[in-house]
Amino acid sequence: MPSPSAVVEQGRILLGDEAARRAGIVSGTGVAAARMLAPAITLLARNPSREAAALQALACWAGSLTPRISLTPDTLLLEIGSCLRLFGGVENLVAAAKEGVQAQGFTVELAAAPTPMGAQWLAWTRTAARCLDASTMRQHLETLPIAVLPAKASISLSRFGLSTLADVRRLPSAALARRIGRETLQLMARAFGELPDLRADFVFPEQFALPLQLPAAVENAAALLFAARRLTSALAGWLTARQAGVREFTLRLLHREAETPLVLQFADLTADGGRFERVLRERLESLLLDAPVESLRLEAATVTALPGRSHALFNDATTEQDAIGALLERLSARLGEKQVYRVAVHDDHRPECATRHVTLLEKSTPEKRTAPPRPLWLLDTPEALAEVDGRPYRHGHLKLLAGPERIESGWWDGGEAAGDLRRDYFIALSTNACWLWIYRECRAPGGWFLQGYFS
Amino acid sequence: MKTAVSLGEILARPDVWCADRLASAAIPALASGFALLDAELPGGGWPRGTLTEILADGAGLGECSLVMPALGRMREDGRWSLLVTPPHGINGPAWASWGIDLARLAVVSPTRQRDALWAAEHALSSGALGTVLCWSRHIDAAQVRRLQVAVAGSNTLAFLFRPVRARTESSAAALRLLLSAGSRGTLAVNLLKRRGPPCTRTLYLDVPRPLKWREDHESTLARTPSAVPPARSQRPVALA
């Protein structure tokens, strides 16, 4: 986003960024005055649907802090009373919330109070108050200007010569209700905790699919990371609130006409935003974009309930397991899935087919122990050996210590895997004391081959 | 009042070791499975949290059999092992028959050396793995030092396999072993460097072979089995 920039509503500046504020543009400045103060300013029309989408994403993210969230058109309310102990106090929780929101590129005004209305008003007026009991909140609220009340009521109250909420509360309420309306007084009573204030809980979406419109087309994949962080944080919060995890999710990079889907996979179920980000970073760093990206969309199709886990007193095996998962997925994100694998045993007599590479995610079958000795290493393609005096030769004559062991299998395989084999295998010792696994090809044209090492 | 500290007290500190004695390991070592070798290793086994260099040329000498018992022990602890750029393809059935838990064995084999070292360094510093085995033909002293720094203090067994020509290079690894073929199918091990007095004798280890040694096998070998490269004058090696 170019700077300075500001959002305009009805010909007046609603909100400017830091550069605009330095130029002297405050909310309420006219568009013409703003252009004069900062000629390079980018003015954007207010877009309520994008605001709502951003708040929705933030509400999902906030699931990582508390399960009870409520959305108003302009404020996000989190019920934190029940999770103060988990975070170790209100300051820690506020710090976590602030850090989380700022990491997603938003600025935030935070306030805490025992009533939702009170917290909302304290946040609007940027008091940054943290009130944990009713009396502290009352003190803070009474200093607030009457501008927090609905516009009509605040205008008439200012005509009476009142400026703060304390002034309003000193007046007899019955008479005041007749003049400014009962609703405003009820609003104040809710804020001060004298009337119950029930809010509808934010309902987390059943399926996670969150779009993000980018302010400008992005041509550099690495620059997408910052924007995508909003989506991954929202996913992490949403998963935490549902006590679920994902093994994979898809980030779609939408171009003007096409799209690039990025499927990110994880070694085990996870709801860890930091892990999402690390894997995403490795993928984006190695990605070349064909066309500029205009918007992003994050989809998590299969969500699985995460087994409950209590925090361990000491480091235990589960944290090590998590660390391994994180390590392996980081390696495969950077090096490519083909280059990071596990091996699994496959029931086949042909040596080439007895081992399979499986991805980290695949379940492996329990292996069986084989009776005949087999080499630890197998050559990708058997190495042809010379034959000197009727004996195989490799830096000197090879001595055949054991064999032959006939392996004849694969007639059904039309050359797709290893094909139909007929070989006589020997354990051989070379002149430099290396233990080799060699075979004589029984089919024409025959010959000796080195296939493995007993290392 | 300041009390004088005797030399004996200083020497008794766990982080001080005399070069004429074997160092004790801060993190318990893992028995290698070869009593002869354990007796010569500081801490009585493969050291954890430090790099062990194994110098051997070619495959088939028994270089893997040397570390297999330790690798098999990972199954009991439920810990993972990682192979970084193994020299050849892994034969699953053989590894399984050594008791290796294939479900907890991961392999990384990037084509570029730079990526391999990045993976190895990353794996070592994560501290999450039980064993990391790394094969590298061309690795310089600075890169070895990076690996040693990455593994330092962790609970991981780290093996680096290098060709024999690296024996003359300096190395940050705390333990360096030179392998060659011994007589009667044994594996000859020379300790090039360890935390302790220099080990001048060659250890002949009975590593498991695919079949029992018979006397007539000897005739195959080109040279007499003391195939150990001529020992350099054994000066105390640089103390890491």
Taking the CA of residue A424 and the nearest CA in chain B, the distance in Å comes to 17
Across the interface, whether the CB atoms of A379 and B87 are under 8 A apart is answered no
Please name the member of A355, A397, A398 whose beta carbon is closest to the beta carbon of B91: A355
Per-residue model confidence (pLDDT) at position A271: 84
Taking the CA of residue B209 and the nearest CA in chain A, the distance in Å comes to 8
d(CA A357, CA B89): 10
Confidence at A285, pLDDT banded by 50, 70, 90: confident
Per-residue model confidence (pLDDT) at position B133: 93
Nearest-by-CA chain B residue for A401: B217
Confidence at A368, pLDDT banded by 50, 70, 90: low
Across the interface, whether the CB atoms of B220 and A397 are under 8 A apart is answered yes
Nearest to A247 by CA among A228, A275, A274, A221: A275
pLDDT tens figures, A370-418:
667 888 899 888 888 888 888 888 888 888 888 788 888 777 776 666 6
pLDDT tens figures, A18-35:
888 888 888 788 888 888
- Alpha-carbon A369 to chain mean position: 41
Nearest to B207 by CA among B74, B95, B102, B61: B61
Taking the CA of residue B9 and the nearest CA in chain A, the distance in Å comes to 33
Per-residue model confidence (pLDDT) at position A153: 84
Across the interface, whether the CB atoms of A328 and B122 are under 8 A apart is answered no
Chains A & B: contacts with CB separation below 8 Å: 179
Q: Quick one: tokens of A166?
A: 């304390």
Average pLDDT over residues A309-316: 53
All residues of chain B having their beta carbon less than 8 Å from the beta carbon of residue A396 are 222
Per-residue model confidence (pLDDT) at position B108: 92
Nearest-by-CA chain A residue for B105: A342
Residue ranges of E strands in A175-229:
208-218
Average pLDDT over residues A53-80: 85
Helix axis angle for B113-126 and B141-151, nearest 10°, is: 20
Please name the member of A327, A429, A454 whose beta carbon is closest to the beta carbon of B123: A327
Per-residue model confidence (pLDDT) at position B55: 92
Per-residue model confidence (pLDDT) at position A221: 78
Lowest mean pLDDT among A157-166, A355-364, A423-432: A355-364
d(CA B222, CA B216): 13
Q: SS in 3 state form for chain B?
A: CCCCCCHHHHHCCCCCCCCCCCCCCCCCCECCCCHHHHHHCHHHCECCCEEEEEECCCCCCCHHHHHHHHHHHHHHHCCCEEEECCCCEECHHHHHHCCCCHHHEEEECCCCHHHHHHHHHHHHHHCCCCEEEEECCCCCHHHHHHHHHHHCCCCCEEEEEECHHHHHCCCCCCEEEEEEECHHHCEEEEEEECCCCCCCCCEEECCCCCCCCCHHHHHHCCCCCCCCCCCCCCCCCCCC
Average pLDDT over residues A282-295: 84
DSSP A45-92: E--HHHHHHHHHHHHHHGGGT-S-EEE-SS-EEE--GGGHHHHTSHHH
d(CA A94, CA A88): 11
Across the interface, whether the CB atoms of A433 and B221 are under 8 A apart is answered yes
All residues of chain A having their beta carbon less than 8 Å from the beta carbon of residue B217 are 399, 401, 429
Across the interface, whether the CB atoms of A377 and B209 are under 8 A apart is answered no
Question: Average pLDDT over chain A, rounded to whole?
Answer: 82
Taking the CA of residue B122 and the nearest CA in chain A, the distance in Å comes to 8
Coil, helix or strand at residue A449: strand
Confidence at A96, pLDDT banded by 50, 70, 90: confident
Which residues in chain B show pLDDT less than 50? 1, 224-240
Across the interface, whether the CB atoms of B111 and A339 are under 8 A apart is answered yes
Taking the CA of residue B143 and the nearest CA in chain A, the distance in Å comes to 19
Between vectors from CA B144 to CA B140 and to CA B147, what angle results, nearest 5°?
145
Q: Quick one: tokens of A400?
A: 């055949």
d(CA B126, CA A312): 19
All residues of chain A having their beta carbon less than 8 Å from the beta carbon of residue B95 are 343, 376
Per-residue model confidence (pLDDT) at position B226: 42
Confidence at A257, pLDDT banded by 50, 70, 90: confident
Between vectors from CA A341 to CA B112 and to CA A337, what angle results, nearest 5°?
65
d(CA A383, CA B26): 46
Across the interface, whether the CB atoms of B91 and A341 are under 8 A apart is answered no
Residue ranges of E strands in A141-285:
208-218, 244-254, 259-270
Per-residue model confidence (pLDDT) at position B236: 44
ipTM exceeds 0.90: no
Per-residue model confidence (pLDDT) at position A159: 87
Percentage of chain A surpassing pLDDT 70?
93
Lowest mean pLDDT among A84-88, A137-141, A157-161, B229-233: B229-233
Taking the CA of residue B28 and the nearest CA in chain A, the distance in Å comes to 18
Across the interface, whether the CB atoms of B60 and A427 are under 8 A apart is answered no
Q: Quick one: tokens of B131?
A: 């064993």
Q: A383: how many CB neighbours lie within 10 A of its CB?
A: 13
- CB burial of B2-35 (b: ≥16 within 10 Å; e: otherwise) equals eeeeeeeeeeeeeeebeeeebbebeeebbbbbbe
pTM exceeding the 0.95 threshold for the entire prediction: no
Please name the member of A317, A380, A436 whose beta carbon is closest to the beta carbon of B89: A380
All residues of chain A having their beta carbon less than 8 Å from the beta carbon of residue B122 are 327, 330-331
